[in-house]
Amino acid sequence: MGTSCNNLLHEYGIQNEQSDLRAHVCPLVRRVYVYPTVEGQRAIKGGRWPARKAYQPGVVGETALGYCVPPFVIRRCVALEVRAEAWGAAHFDQNENTSEKGNKAVQFVAGMIRAGIFPLPCLLKDLVEEADKAIQIKGDDITVTVGSSRIHVQVKCDYRGGDPTLGGTGNLYLQVAERNPLKRV
């Protein structure tokens, strides 16, 4: 029998984020999709894309609600192809819980930032030289400080998201509500 707490979803997601950029780490297709958060917000406001419920193993009822949006209808979205060795080293596993996958996604993006291969609106040369001091990680949010600029990156593990020709769903999941009955961080 699964856990059944309060089954009400609470508004939480892209619509009320204060991030500058979003990164959807999609291990199945081995891509990271990056776009300005405001462009993802604009995409779901149009009402064109379907809302879908999400579930967690061992939990009765839905645990999230989000919109399934094709990456390239999100303006300024880019797909980053990262070498196979990096994906292998990250050891993503679809059977891990959401917290484990999320933590790995954050570390993956932090590694991309340190390597200078993540698209930031700043001088990457300066960032690479000061990477350890410049990157702060809190939950699924990364703050990068370069000089007087602070860039907030929200990271999501969207395990099956991305390019359908590579085996993905063809969409990114832009969450707008959730509940966390298992109290995962």
Closest CA to 119 of 151, 90, 158, 149: 151
Average pLDDT over residues 27-56: 94
Average pLDDT over residues 24-35: 98
Residue-level pLDDT at 123: 43
Percent of the chain with pLDDT over 90: 58
Q: Confidence band (pLDDT; 50, 70, 90) for 129?
A: very low
Cβ atoms within 10 A of the Cβ of 6, count? 9
24-33, 49-58, 115-124, range with the lowest pLDDT: 115-124
Q: What angle do CA 111, 95, 15 make, to 5 degrees?
A: 60
- Average predicted confidence (pLDDT) for the chain: 86
What does the buried/exposed string (b/e) look like for 32-43 if buried means 16 or more CB atoms within 10 Å of the residue's CB?
Answer: bbbbbbbebbeb
Q: Confidence band (pLDDT; 50, 70, 90) for 184?
A: low
Closest CA to 110 of 95, 128, 123, 96: 128
Q: And the tokens for 153?
A: 């990156």
